[in-house]
Structure 1
Amino acid sequence: MTTETLYKELNYVNHSREKRMYYAQMVINNSSLIPKLIEILMQVDDKVSPRAAWVLEFVCKDNLNVIIPYLDLFTTNMHRVKKEQAVRPVAKICEYLANAYFSKTENKIKDALTQTHKERIVEVAFEYMICDYKVAPKAYSMTTLYLFGKEFNWIHPELAIILERDFYKESAAFKARARHILKKIKA
């Protein structure tokens, strides 16, 4: 399948779990579609970009290892994604990567995630925290930053400052996650 054909197919993706799962399974069954999916996701001003992000999130949720050969491509370009509908899945994928990297069980992400990948993920997570995004990307980024703060000792103090600063002006969902993360940082 060409990038153009995949692009046309993504026009049929909507918010329903069924459609996202259908197209995610199509990509999982043909991993050569992953770089094409990322390429479409990185067409950041295009209306189909968020749809590619939704599908990639479902692909990664089902089988995170399929993104390993494309970690450079994904992490190099993810900072370009600015549309709210695409930012949320990108933040979620970063959280999946952080959770896998810090998992107690052995997995391939631990070997595949380089120092550069981690630095890029941390950078974009901080961007999501300090810029005007909705709660979901911020919540995923809090977890991502908390986890990488176990490895980079400068992250927890910076994250705590942001969480405490924004605590009273954010939503109840933000406050709940922030309280949880601050408690872990101080422990």
Structure 2
Amino acid sequence: MRIVAYVGNNAKRFAELMTLFLKGEYRVTQRAAWPISYCVQNYPELVRPWYAQLFRKLEEPGAHDAVARNILRLLQFVEIPKRYHGKAMTICFDHITSVSSAPAIKACALTILQGLALHYPEIKPELKLIIEENWDQESPAFRSRARKLLKTLKI
């Protein structure tokens, strides 16, 4: 939390933290992920110049779960630019259908898809089907988010 407080709304400090996250060694990247998501939760405008790099990082093979979890976590708190909607949907659908994705990653992916479904109502039936098919195998975190999603989207 001290790092989050230090960065605050300062774009230069946020850029330094993002550089560590995007280009640092494995352990540094992993440790920088958490404060980044909280900085963006507090100041969503900080992430505006970083979308392209964040989506590239999400698509990196072998990225640690902490990286995906915290990028998806921060994407819950922002309006994703339209040009990244397709990538965001693909990544989120891949995570919610993957047996190897961690419960927290799936929960964040559901929240992002909930927001995107407002722009693309045609994804609602597929989302509902995936939730129903996987309900019994999923974690309590997934089921809680899924229940809220289904209720909010009225599907």
Q: Which residue of 2 aligns with 1:3?
A: none
Residue range with higher mean Cα deviation, 141-150 or 33-42: 33-42
Contact 2:8 2:39 in 1 (8 A): yes
Q: Is 1:174 paired with 2:154? A: no
Q: Which has the larger radius of gyration?
A: 1
Q: Does 1:52 align with 2:32?
A: yes
What's the offset of the Cα at 1:183?
A: 2.9
2:103 maps to a residue whose letter is: V
Q: Is the 8 A contact 1:76 1:120 kept in 2?
A: no
Aligned-partner Cα distance in 2 for 1:86–1:67: 15
Runs of 4+ in 1 over 6 A off after TM superposition: none
Contact 1:43 1:49 (8 Å CA) reproduced: yes
Rounded Cα–Cα distance in structure 2 between residues aligned with 1:118 and 1:57: 19
List gaps (5 residues or longer) in structure 2: none
Match of 2:121 in 1: 153
Aligned match for 1:82, one of 49, 63, 76: 63
The offset of 1:29, in angstroms, is: 5.4
Are the counterparts in 2 of residues 94 and 121 from structure 1 also a CA contact under 8 Å?
A: no
2:133 to 149, 154, 165: 165
Overall identity of the aligned pairs, in %: 22
Extract unaligned runs of 5+ from structure 1: 1-20, 102-112
**Structure 2 contact 117–124 (Cα < 8 Å) conserved:** yes
Cα gap change, 1:85/1:70 in structure 2, threshold over 3 Å: closer, same or farther? closer
State which of 51, 63, 73 in structure 2 corresponds to 1:92.
Answer: 73
Aligned residues: 153
TM-score, normalisation: structure 2: 0.83
Structure 1 position 65 matched with structure 2 position 45? yes
Q: Measure the CA separation in 1 of the matches of 2:140 and 2:75.
A: 23
Q: 1-side partners of 2:18 and 2:26: how far apart?
A: 13
